[in-house]
Amino acid sequence: MYQKNICLNTKTWVAYSTGNQGYRKLIKNPKPTADDVRRALYKRSIKRRSENTRDYYNQWSESVERDGLDFFFVVTVKAKTKDEADAKAKEIVSDNGWKEASTATYATEI
């Protein structure tokens, strides 16, 4: 099973998709709630990479820092294959007319 998260900034309608498993280490609840996931993604997002790196995660971090956690809505997509999860996430973003911040992310195994 694979998972991809779409972190939507509802102030700007920009979707920051990630399959990053770094946030999973921050969740202590074996059956996490949506708020547990949001908090963990937020904690993960505020960890910036080096100043020389202008990558997707730094853009996400800047967005969270600028607009705050209250403007983030997280949608989690799960599927049997990585390609299927990526396709479903892409479809959700495009069907809703959201702007995608990066296409260089991918679903991760859960």
For residue 101, give Cα distances in angstroms to 31, 56, 76, 81, 98.
29, 7, 17, 23, 9
Helix (H, G, I), strand (E, B) or coil at 50: coil
**For residue range 59-80, what is the model confidence (pLDDT) as tens digits?**
777 787 788 778 888 888 889 9
**For residue range 7-46, what is the model confidence (pLDDT) as tens digits?**
888 999 988 777 566 677 778 888 888 788 777 877 776 6
- Predicted local distance difference test score (pLDDT) of residue 94: 93
- Predicted local distance difference test score (pLDDT) of residue 55: 60
pLDDT at 53 over 60: no
Other Cβ atoms within 10 Å of 7 Cβ, number = 24
pTM, two decimal places: 0.70
Q: What are the residue boundaries of the structural domains of the chain, listed by start?
A: 2-109
Burial of 71 (0-12, 13-18, 19+ CB in 10 A): middle
